[in-house]
Homo-oligomer: A and B are copies of this chain.
Amino acid sequence: MAQLIDELFIKHFDNELLRQHNDQALFKLPAGRLAISTDGHVISPLFFPGGDIGSLAVHGTLNDVAMSGAKPLYLAAGFILEEGLPLADLEKIVISMAAAAKGAGTPIVTGDTKVVEHGKGDGVFITTTGVGVVPDSVTISGDRAEPGCAILVSGSIGDHGVAIMASRENLQFQTTIVSDSAALHGLVADLVATAPTALRCLRDPTRGGLATALNELAKQSGVGMVIDEAKIPVRAEVKAACEILGLDPLYVANEGKLVCICDAAAADDLLAAMRRHPLGQDASIIGEVIVDPHGFVQMTTAFGGRRIVDWPVGEQLPRIC
């Protein structure tokens, strides 16, 4: 069985480093700082509209690496399998993962598999780690937002979370919405090429959604933010689904969107660069960074008032990624 699984991985992830059968991968890196990020994926269900745990485990980690401005280069993958997982399901996941890695140009060069007893896991958990290299000219970090900076989002929010909620079998709810799960490093490369020094913060608003990502950035940078509800792209179907489910799209997870904070002077150029990329066609400038010692994120609502967009209370959607 163990051998069968190993062969499955080597067959589909096929690359020279993995075929060496060592317990580690060795490679030369281009010049620059190393960026590393790791993410556990425990999404339920394993298969959902727009992807599965395999493609998500590639995109989720690549995106975290890319949010430093890095070009992601290689992936490592650790699988925890529950006894009883149908081999056909595992193969489907591995094939999807291999396709996502190939599409992103980031081979899975080393890995590990563990098996736990039935009832001690849930099908499969996948923890991926990505490495990439950031050119020395680029300095993107969550603590670099300053008053006057513009806040951009690369597209419509909430698609991933709503797609997952809809696909959970205990919800009697149908929708055409699919997860936005995608690798964002191509979009990031375009932004870096457009205005390398004007880019200050990048973050992918996954668990906790846009509201959480903005609050994190405001806290890290010690600033406030004002965003405009009317400027935030939300699909009509997502808005409708959120109303039915009692969710606020600002807090719903995304897996193929990014928030960008940049010098105001470069905002229009970066917006144009986003819109030229297939993953940024619905990009929008949604607000600006302000002075605020409390670090509040405020939103001008459709009714003209302002409200605080607070940190999420509790976990809205468990096992969303």
Interface residues of A (CB under 8 A from B): 2, 20-29, 33-42, 64-65, 67-68, 70, 74, 76-80, 109-117, 119-122, 125, 127, 129, 131, 134, 141-143, 203-204, 216, 219-220, 315, 318-319, 321
Contact = CB atoms under 8 A, between A and B. Distances in A.
Contact of A129 (B33, B41, B42, B129): B129
13 contacts: A24-B37, A27-B33, A34-B131, A36-B110, A36-B129, A38-B127, A39-B78, A40-B79, A40-B114, A115-B315, A117-B319, A120-B121, A127-B127
Given A21-B220, A40-B79, A80-B125, 19 more contacts: A21-B219, A22-B67, A22-B142, A24-B37, A25-B35, A25-B36, A28-B33, A28-B34, A34-B34, A36-B129, A39-B78, A40-B113, A76-B129, A112-B127, A114-B319, A116-B125, A116-B319, A125-B125, A131-B131
Instruction: Please state the number of chain copies in the assembly.
Output: 2
A129 B64 CA distance: 15
Contacts of A112: 38-40, 127
Query: Which of A24, A80, A129 has most chain B Cβ within 10 Å?
Result: A24
Contacts of A68: 22, 24, 26
Given A20-B141, A20-B143, A65-B24, A34 B29 contact: yes
A295 to B, nearest CB: 13
Contacts of A117: 318-319
Contacts of A129: 36, 38, 76, 78, 129
A164 to B, nearest CB: 14
B23 A34 contact: no
A115 to B, nearest CB: 7
Contacts of A204: 23
Contacts of A35: 24-26
Query: Which of A23, A78, A318 has most chain B Cβ within 10 Å?
Result: A23
